[in-house]
Amino acid sequence: MTTRRVNLNTESVDNYLKAIFTLGGPDEERVTSSALAERLGVAPASITNMLQKLAASLSPLVEYERRRGVRLSPAGRRRALEIVRHHRLLEAFLYEVLDYPIEEVHDEAERLEHFISERFEERIATKLRHPNFDPHGHCIPAMDGKMPKQVSKPLTDIEEGGKFLVDSVSDHDAILLKQLKAHGITPGARLQVTSPSQEEFVLRAGSPSKALRLSRALAGAVRIRSED
Ligand SMILES: [Zn+2]
């Protein structure tokens, strides 16, 4: 197969790389086209098409086999981490400096992450004193792409109630984020979980305020760790 230079829209390439990075998880497992299609809201045929282009470009950003799925090449991983760093730094900046509500920072960062310069990125990092976490509790990769593994698990993994710390909350559901915030369920908060079941989780944070009942589907958006 001949290698050719492909002219691809950078913004959509970045979104593919970021989605592969996120879906692959900490162990960087291969990601299926259907999982990508769902995440990006794109038809499976377009996914295949794009992955073939990314795998065939001059310095390939992904390794792709139709049957086994896709994973990032070292170059693709570097690029993905750069975008994730932009995204999470922007979220922290919007939240801490511009006073955006937590449920609005993600969408704004999605737009801005593709366009900021290295200088702008460095300025934000300096202004915020090089933060390690974004407002959702997710690790911000360092300049050199290093990112510590977070030791946490989804709330839905627990079988018994108890006391935990909120590690992070998903940035994808603005309505849920608002609800969590209203109940004091934010990264670092102490969380009391009573009687988890197949259907629902009953959560209390901070003072014995009113409980929040979450369905199993929604509870997966909260990641917890044990109290230190
Ligand atoms: Zn986000």
Which CATH number do you get for residue 192?
2.30.30.90
The crossing angle, in degrees rounded to 10, of helices 33-40 and 44-56 is 110
The answer to whether the CB of 99 falls within 8 A of the CB of 151 is: no
Q: Is residue 103 part of a domain?
A: no
Angstrom distance (rounded) from CA 4 to CA 207: 61
| Domain termination residue (choose one: 57, 72, 87) | 72
Q: Is residue 32 part of a domain?
A: yes
Q: Which domain holds residue 35?
A: 10-72
Q: Is residue 60 part of a domain?
A: yes
pLDDT band, residue 208 (cuts 50/70/90)? low
pLDDT band, residue 207 (cuts 50/70/90)? low
Q: Is residue 101 part of a domain?
A: no
| Domain termination residue (choose one: 72, 106, 123) | 72
In the reported structure, the alpha carbon of residue 168 is separated from the centroid of ligand 1 by a whole-number distance in angstroms of: 12
pLDDT band, residue 58 (cuts 50/70/90)? confident
Which residue is associated with the tokens 């369920």? 185
CATH code at position 27:
1.10.10.10
Q: Is residue 125 part of a domain?
A: no
In the reported structure, the alpha carbon of residue 91 is separated from the centroid of ligand 1 by a whole-number distance in angstroms of: 7
In the reported structure, the alpha carbon of residue 100 is separated from the centroid of ligand 1 by a whole-number distance in angstroms of: 13
Tens digits of residue pLDDT in 138-185:
999 998 888 877 789 999 999 899 999 999 999 988 999 999 999 999
In the reported structure, the alpha carbon of residue 102 is separated from the centroid of ligand 1 by a whole-number distance in angstroms of: 10
Q: Is residue 105 part of a domain?
A: no
In the reported structure, the alpha carbon of residue 26 is separated from the centroid of ligand 1 by a whole-number distance in angstroms of: 17
| Domain termination residue (choose one: 32, 52, 72) | 72
Tens digits of residue pLDDT in 62-121:
999 988 999 999 999 999 999 999 999 999 999 999 999 999 999 999 999 988 999 999
Q: How many whole angstroms from its chain centre is CA 55? A: 23
Q: Is residue 213 part of a domain?
A: yes
Give, as residue ranges, everything with CB less than 5 Å from ion ligand 1: 106, 171
Over residues 44-59, the mean pLDDT reads 91
Which residue is associated with the tokens 């497992």? 29
Tens digits of residue pLDDT in 16-49:
999 999 899 878 899 999 999 999 999 988 999 9
> Residue 67: how many CB atoms within 10 A of its CB?
5
Angstrom distance (rounded) from CA 224 to CA 228: 12
The structural domain count of the chain equals: 2
Strand positions, DSSP E, 55-159: 62-65, 69-72, 153-154
In the reported structure, the alpha carbon of residue 17 is separated from the centroid of ligand 1 by a whole-number distance in angstroms of: 15
